[in-house]
Chain A
Amino acid sequence: MVNAHRSYILHISIIGMLAAMFFILPAYHVGNLSRIMVLAVYAMGFNVLFGYTGLLSLGHALFFATGMYGLGMAMNTFNIAAEPAMLIGGICAFLVSAVIGFLALRTSGVAFMIVTLMFAQAGYLTILYFGAYTRGDEGFVIPQADRMIAGIDITGETARYFSALFLFSVVFLLIMYLVRSPFGHTIVAIRENEERTRMLGYDTVRHKLAAVIISGTISGIAGAAYALLFGYAGATFATVQYSIFPLLWVLLGGAGTTLGPIIGTIFMFYLIDLSSTVTQAYMLIAGVVLVLLTLFAPQGLAGELRRRVFKWLP
């Protein structure tokens, strides 16, 4: 079978499995999985930049929060309906990532990490400073009555789960297509050897900027979806912690693999969830498991799978 066919079958099967989980899992885990799928979209966005392009951003929370506040403020402050508000969230993330990308790509390596971190910190402080509009640290709730898409109330468990699954599936397949496209090969080539890519005649800065924008916009859409599905937007989502989370998810799952973000997000979510039922020092358990994984699966779970068994995994 051709690798592309295998890949399509695998990805569609995973979407099918996630759909089936709704009918199999108890309500608690269904709720968790809705949240995980949205966060996995955020991780997939991050993976485009980090895993495929080789640019480590420590400020992705800015894009996530931009989408979240773009939607939240459009709905709460301007009374805009959920669908256009979602679009506004995505557009805000697109614009912010274009500006940040344009400025941050003047640097590379460690400097890029620091610049993105600083921009995210500036974003976080901006949210706090304009507390009169953003409700600062406290954040704000999006009223349940407003959370309707195409006449469907998405606050119910079923609608929320399948909305999250729909978003996840679209982004999952989009990224699978993207990484197999000429653009995908070019950003991987940039990750492998930027100078060599330029020597072949590619404008690497333009490609990296496109990767920042795609990555930031997907992260922003994830933020907007999170606010819409779970009814809350808060400054917490703009903190450094939320820039580190997608890095952990992607590293654990496998950077530069399409499956890595969802595997990493599920793994990390349940690692913390389960270990917190055992002890209050759950982060200690999480830390030990992470160290072990880093030692024995340095390429992440999906990365190791690809290295050892399924070499065709995209």
Chain B
Amino acid sequence: MKFIETRQFRLRIWGQQLMLEVDQIHVAYGRVKALYGVSLTANAGEILCLLGRNGAGKTTIMKSIMGLLPITTGTVKLEGKTISKLPAYEVPRQRIGYVPQGRRLFPELTVSENIEMGLMACNEHNETREWVLDIFPRLRERLNQQSSTLSGGEQQMLATARALCLRPRVLLLDEPTEGLQPSMIEQVRQVVVRMKTEGVAIILVEQRVDAVLSIADNVTFIENGRDMKTVTANYLRENPALLKEHLGV
């Protein structure tokens, strides 16, 4: 479904619709188990934040959803359809966008070509390209520049833009503000909020608790490969002791 509806209409359509369901997934790196029965749900038009210490398994969850790591047991469903059996290259075609930690652009390609790579994967065309460039006007000024020569913030914009080229129903963002200056962090935040209002289900991995509390609807604490607790952001604001309990901050 193309996201061309007005904001109000769109919200009416998606409402609290369950978009992504991760059900009791177990994942291992060879013999080393990394996830132990993790379950999550992401609704349309909501932001779910994953909080946890380094090595807790947040990125592993993202990669497992994308099919980049084999799930030993458990399932991942998108709007009720199991996607965890699909080959990795089919998962993005279900319109799940992933912005990995560290951006991972194609440094030899220009900004325009990087965006083109995103568009071609899902047979999206000019309309989507314009939509993405309207969201990131800075990239429009840099279309012919090699992506390796962009600043950190611009690279993050490009990585996000490329994921948006899929017209995602679900967007996975792994530490999108890492290493960015405050003005860039604000721009990333605005884009995330815009996607939320457009009905995209967002799963966000973020270390900065203030950023999480300002935009998240729900927060899941991940510890040692397990989902320990899911609370609403409001509840977390009122009970900061939870942060101490799960993150030690």
Contacts and interface: CB of A to CB of B under 8 A. Distances in A.
Task: Indicate whether A and B interact.
Answer: yes
A138 interface: no
Contact of B121 (A3, A191, A202, A256): A202
A273 interface: no
Contact of B109 (A182, A188, A204): A188
Interface stretch (B19-27, B33-41, B110-118, B201-209): B110-118
A189 B109 CA distance: 8
Interface stretch (A32-40, A193-201, A209-217, A230-238): A193-201
A29 interface: no
B92 A200 contact: yes
A200 B107 contact: no
A54 to B, nearest CB: 10
B98 interface: yes
Interface stretch (B82-90, B190-198, B224-232): B82-90
A176 to B, nearest CB: 16
A258 interface: no
A198 B88 contact: yes
B58 interface: no
A185 interface: yes
Given A182-B116, A189-B117, A196-B100, A201 B89 contact: yes
A199 B162 CA distance: 11
B108 interface: yes
A68 B146 CA distance: 41
Nearest to B147: A192
Interface in B87-108: 87-93, 98, 100, 104-108
A300 B197 CA distance: 50
Given A201-B92, A203-B87, A185 B109 contact: yes
Contacts of A47: none
A188 B120 CA distance: 14
A197 B121 CA distance: 9
A105 B97 CA distance: 27
A185 B113 contact: yes
B117 A185 contact: yes
A195 B122 CA distance: 17
Contact of A201 (B68, B109, B122, B144): B122
Given A192-B108, A193-B104, A200 B88 contact: no
Nearest to B159: A196
A200 to B, nearest CB: 5
Interface in B162-179: 162, 166
Interface in A128-164: none
Contact of A186 (B104, B105, B120, B162): B120
Nearest to A193: B104
Nearest to A204: B89
Nearest to B95: A201
Contacts of B66: 199
B162 A200 contact: yes
A198 B68 contact: yes
Contacts of A192: 106-109
B116 A185 contact: yes
Contacts of B108: 188, 191-192, 256
B89 A202 contact: yes
B68 A195 contact: yes
Contact of A200 (B87, B109, B113, B118): B118
Contact of B89 (A3, A191, A193, A198): A198
A192 B147 CA distance: 12
Contact of A182 (B87, B120, B122): B120
A193 B106 contact: yes
A185 B108 CA distance: 10
Nearest to A183: B120
A182 B125 CA distance: 13
Query: Which 3 pairs across A and B sit closest by C-beta, in order of nearness?
Result: A201-B121, A201-B92, A192-B106
7 contacts: A189-B109, A192-B109, A193-B104, A196-B104, A196-B106, A199-B100, A200-B121
Interface of A: 3, 182, 185-186, 188-189, 191-193, 195-204, 256, 311
Given A188-B106, A199-B92, A311-B146, 19 more contacts: A182-B120, A185-B116, A185-B120, A188-B108, A188-B109, A189-B109, A193-B106, A195-B104, A198-B88, A198-B89, A199-B98, A199-B100, A200-B121, A200-B162, A201-B89, A201-B91, A201-B166, A204-B89, A256-B108
